């Protein structure tokens, strides 16, 4: 059995930001997922959602929950990442000053997503968008 959830994420909307990951967390709590797993999914889904809000022109956040694993997929519609290797480095950020002043965009998003997921894939095309696929095993 699969439970899937999908959320539209608006770019630049810091008021609504975090709502999608909140709903994913709420679902996991209702399903009785173990605290360690919950913690990991909470962080990666929030970071993924924030990345869309900060860096993209909008996108979707998906969660597919099954007995064995939780998949989090973030897809956005551009502008894409020029240098993925660089983007994966801790502290590297392309976020503009005003967003950093809000306490976001410290360049930990992608590294944290990788750190807290059991499986991590990222694809990006300059101009088209970015897709991040993450799995946390529910063991």
Q: Which is nearer to another protein, 33 or 135 (CB)?
A: 33
- Helix residue ranges, H only, the chain: 19-31, 35-55, 84-87, 97-101, 109-116
Q: Which is nearer to another protein, 22 or 94 (CB)?
A: 22
Q: Which is nearer to another protein, 21 or 124 (CB)?
A: 21
In the complex, the smallest distance separating the C-beta of residue 100 from another protein, rounded to whole angstroms, is 14
Q: Which is nearer to another protein, 47 or 76 (CB)?
A: 47
In the complex, the smallest distance separating the C-beta of residue 3 from another protein, rounded to whole angstroms, is 5
In the complex, the smallest distance separating the C-beta of residue 113 from another protein, rounded to whole angstroms, is 10
Instruction: In whole angstroms, give the CA distance from residue 50 to residue 71.
Output: 17
In the complex, the smallest distance separating the C-beta of residue 83 from another protein, rounded to whole angstroms, is 25
Angle at the Cα of 18 from the Cα atoms of 71 and 97, rounded to 5 degrees = 115
Q: Which residues bind another protein (CB under 8 A)?
A: 1, 3, 18, 21-22, 25, 27, 29-33, 35-36, 38-39, 42-43, 46-47, 65, 67, 103, 112, 116, 138
Strand partners of residue 73 = 62, 133
In the complex, the smallest distance separating the C-beta of residue 57 from another protein, rounded to whole angstroms, is 23
Q: Which is nearer to another protein, 1 or 127 (CB)?
A: 1
């Amino acid at each position: 059995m699969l439970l899937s959830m999908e959320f539209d994420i608006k770019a630049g909307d810091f008021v609504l930001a975090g709502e999608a990951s909140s709903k994913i967390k709420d679902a996991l709590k209702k399903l009785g997922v173990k605290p360690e797993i919950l913690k990991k999914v909470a962080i990666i889904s929030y970071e993924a959602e924030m990345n869309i809000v900060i860096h993209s022109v909008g996108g979707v956040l998906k969660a597919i929950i099954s007995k064995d694993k939780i998949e989090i997929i973030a897809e956005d519609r551009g502008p894409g990442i020029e240098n993925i290797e660089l983007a994966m480095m801790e502290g590297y950020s392309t976020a503009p000053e005003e967003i950093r002043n809000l306490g976001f965009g410290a360049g930990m998003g992608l590294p944290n997503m990788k750190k807290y997921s059991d499986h991590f894939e990222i694809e990006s095309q300059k101009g088209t968008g970015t897709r991040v696929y993450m799995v946390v095993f529910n063991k």
